[in-house]
Structures are given as C-alpha cells and as structure tokens.
Structure 1
C-alpha cells in the first residue's frame, strides 16, 4: 500500500476528530480530507464526533424520553451551528498543524476560479 492511499484506522481517525495530529505519512490523506470534494460534509461529521459522549450523557438524565431527546436535539443543533460557523478557521488550523499551507484549497475549485478570472479579464481588460 502506498502512502497516498493510506488512511487512518478507526482509533486514529477518532483522535484526528478530537484534534490530534496524524503522522507525516498520512499528510496526503489529510490534504485530501480537508480540501477534496465533500470536505464540508466530512468536516461536519468530524466536528460532531467529539460531542457524542455529551449526547449519550443527556440520554442518561432522568425524565421523560421526549425531554432527553429534546436535550440531545438542542445540543446537536448547537454543535452543528458552531461546527459550520468555524469551519474555515478549523480547516486552516488543521492544515497548518499537519505542515500544509493554511490557505490550501480544492484544486478543482481553484482551477474554476482561475478560469473565471481569466474570462473576466478577457471581457473587461484594464
């Protein structure tokens, strides 16, 4: 197995979701994880994982099931809000933590942006 296709195991991925740094041999995987297609969806899933113990604890509270479910739902909505709100900062921090440029972006989106810029300059020269 080459380093490009190497993925972290479940325990390493959970550590990564909690903010741990992966080994340098997985740097390509981290780059693809943070800048590839569906990086936003992966970020949301990765951002919710650290909250799962809290969700489980809320289910153990005394009271009606609907009330415990409402507590979990409220916590989930807050976790989703903050995960999405701080996505760019968290992404830049993770990239820098793994030795990658903090402003790295999806290569496909970068190409599309450059094509759009070239079309604009061709249409509206200085």
Structure 2
C-alpha cells in the first residue's frame, strides 16, 4: 500500500492512537483515516493496540489465574464494545480536534 502525503511516522501514530492531536502537516492523512472506507476497522485496531498491553498488565496482577484472565477479558470486551457503539461520536470528535469538517 502506498503511503499518503502527510503520513505520520511511528511515534506520531502512537500519539494519534493515544488521542493526541497531530500537526497540521498530517491533516490530509487524518482526513483519509477518519473518512475513507474502513475507518471503523482502523479505529478498532488502534483501540486494540492500546488495550491489549493494558489487559496483559491487568492479567499480571496477583490473583488466581482464572480471575486474572477474566479481569483482562472484561476490560478488553467492555472497552471494545464501547468503542464500537460510539465510533461515530469518536470520529466526529477526532475530526473537530484536527479542525476538519465531516
């Protein structure tokens, strides 16, 4: 897949996934990311990239093994469900954050 103009590097992508605003030079990439076909899938993948390490961390807390697994799974399923059902609102907020109209 060809890189788009304004495609952020690795560090900026991590910051973007965490919810930070990208500089104006990445505005075209942000518009593409949030409006092109497949934006919901990319949003869920970004969420999973953040939440899987968090859930692994929750799974390493001291408790019986099944409690650790269930706590991690509960956090992952609940947060992913929340992202899926509120994807339109999250996208609108992200577009506003970057000064873009829908």
Runs of 4+ residues over 2 Å off in structure 1: 3-6, 47-54, 63-67
Quote the Cα distance in structure 1 between the aligned partners of 2:66 and 2:36.
39
RMSD: 1.9
The answer as to whether partners of 1:48 and 1:83 remain within 8 angstroms in 2 is no
Report the TM-score, using the length of structure 2 for normalisation: 0.84
Higher relative contact order (CA 8 A, sep 6+): 2
Aligned length: 100
Report the TM-score, using the length of structure 1 for normalisation: 0.70
The answer as to whether partners of 2:6 and 2:27 remain within 8 angstroms in 1 is no
Larger radius of gyration: 1
Quote the Cα distance in structure 1 between the aligned partners of 2:43 and 2:89.
12
Quote the Cα distance in structure 1 between the aligned partners of 2:93 and 2:19.
10
SS in 2 for 1:5: coil
Which sections of structure 1, spanning at least 5 residues, go unmatched? 105-126
